[in-house]
Amino acid sequence: MGLFDRFKKNDKPKEKKAIPDNVEIDEDQLALKKIATTDKDRIKRAEAADKITNQFVALDLSKNVKDRAIRLIAINKVQDEDLLLDAAENSKFFDVRSFAWERLGENNKSIAEIVINTKKNKHVDEIFSKIVDEQTLEWIAIEANDKRYRTESLEKIDSPDVLYDLVFKSDDRSIRKSCVLKDSFTDEEILKKVAIEDKDEQVKRAAIGKIKSEDNLAEIAKSEENAKVRSLIFEKIDDPEILKNIVLNSQKSDVRLDLINQIDDESLLAQIALEDSDKIVRSEATKKITDEETLLKIISSENDRFVRQIAVNNLSDPKELIKIALEDEDQFVRDHAISNPAITDEKDFTYIAINSTHEDIANEALSHIESEDAFIDILKNAKIDSVRKSTLDNVNDLETLIRIVLANEDEEFSLKALNKIKVEKCLMKIYEQGISENISVRAVSLIKNQNYLTDVVKNDPSWRVREAAAKKIISKKVLKEVSHNDENEYVRNVAKKRMNL
């Protein structure tokens, strides 16, 4: 029989029958099996195998013995079709499986075993070229060790049903992709299933590229993990209602997030911003919203501070921003409100500085104020004491400064205001009010009028005030008189030191 003659039989599917588990085997057959599997002499092993007549022993050898000559001798002993089928399906060795399939008349399967398990060469190519059965070609496309045979098998397959089966069975992503790209691979439901279930991006892309139904594309997008694949899908969908359905119903936040950039409908964006379960999706939707009413709803109902601050950033109504800057419980949100460029009027910043109960917000408002009138207003009316005091550096109005000193609500603050007064008549009037010893000392220390200072150093009952006056007196005569006559040692010493200058 020639090399290819054995493949001329017609394929005849065999019905598999159960092989009994417990088979009685004669001792002589077991002895021959032992020689065939363990003897060190290969010729003796072959002779023993050739003497075996029990088909169950022969089957066992054909399925498990590593020595090719022994297992082929053994399979040639098997005549029972059920035992041949067992060898064809279960032998560890493809040459046995191929021979068993040939004996059963399954010529395509016999050839397939050789093609699947052999590297590409011209002898196998000749056998392969004879295969036209597409189910056999499918088997080779799935199982062949040599990728070239897998590829060439696929090239010979045109049946849609075979391709639809193959695309889900092959482990080779290039085979799956090539299946999809076949002209006969057109069923959109199958394409959708491939796009949803296949793990390879290129296979998914190939399937999506052939899908025309936007509804099918939407179904794929709802659960798709790969952002690049989702992007390809969204590029193919034009129907805004389908996009709306995806963004509202997809269980994957990444899918919903990807679609935000394609949505311009503010009512839909508002629904997403107010209702979506994912804060990142809500934040991205909020970024695209300009409607003041919607933004205020988000600010009042949103739990996430970052989403709220985005809404605050998009507001353009200064009144609402001022309200948020003054009243919102979250410092982060208040900061964004007062930093919103929609607030530009110094009157608004003055109002915030006066009415805020949050020092950070009031100080930020102060940084936007330049006019002295505004600072004076804040100094008079701010709710926060530290904010009022921080305005003093920007206030030079004499009347305001005198009012602070005379009120003397906070002596340190009054002294700071007093330091800014340069008009001697005012300083003298303040001294004469006798507000406090510290203020009198400071006022005298700022006076230069020698006659006035002489009167103070001679007559003021407080030694500290007299001391302050002595430090400013120039007249040696007056200083001499003080150094001799003042009742306080400290004052006398100051006068003496001044005389020596």
Torsion of CA 118, 120, 125, 128, to 10 degrees: 50
pLDDT over 50 at 39, yes or no = yes
At 487, the pLDDT band (50, 70, 90 cuts) reads very high
At 36, the pLDDT band (50, 70, 90 cuts) reads confident
Please give the Cα distance from 484 to 106 (Å, whole number): 139
- 73 and 46 in contact (C-beta within 8 Å)? yes
Q: What ranges make up the beta strands (E) of 350-469?
A: none
pLDDT over 70 at 317, yes or no = yes
Give the per-residue pLDDT at 210. Answer: 96
pLDDT digit string (tens) for 333-370?
999 999 999 999 999 999 999 999 999 999 999 999 99
With tokens 């002209």, the residue in question is: 183
CA 408, 413, 415 angle in degrees (round to 5)?
A: 80
Give the per-residue pLDDT at 2. Answer: 36
Give the per-residue pLDDT at 26. Answer: 86
The tokens for 293 are 């009413």
Per-residue DSSP letter, 288: T
The rounded percent of the chain whose pLDDT value lies above 90 is 73
Lowest mean pLDDT among 35-44, 151-160, 295-304: 35-44
pLDDT over 60 at 10, yes or no = no
SS3 (DSSP) at 157: coil
The tokens for 14 are 């065999």
Please give the Cα distance from 195 to 186 (Å, whole number): 13
- 97 and 63 in contact (C-beta within 8 Å)? no
**80: phi > 0 → left, psi -120 to 50 → alpha, else beta; which?**
beta
303-to-78, 198, 327 alpha-carbon distances in Å: 78, 39, 16
Per-residue DSSP letter, 92: S
Give the per-residue pLDDT at 8. Answer: 38
pLDDT over 70 at 31, yes or no = yes
Mean pLDDT of 436-454: 95
With tokens 């010493």, the residue in question is: 493
Select from 207, 240, 204 the least CA-distant residue to 225: 204
Mean pLDDT of 168-196: 96
pLDDT digit string (tens) for 76-123?
899 989 999 999 899 999 988 889 898 998 888 989 888 989 999 999
* Sign of the four-CA dihedral 446, 447, 450, 454: negative
**Residue 74: phi, psi to the nearest 5?**
-65, -45
pLDDT digit string (tens) for 406-444?
999 899 999 999 999 999 999 999 999 999 999 999 999
Give the per-residue pLDDT at 71. Answer: 87
User: What's the mean pLDDT when you consider all of the chain?
Assistant: 91
Residue 328 CB contacts under 8 Å (≥ 6 apart), including other chains:
299, 334, 337
The tokens for 83 are 């035992």
pLDDT digit string (tens) for 54-72?
989 989 898 998 988 888 9
Residue 20 CB contacts under 8 Å (≥ 6 apart), including other chains:
none
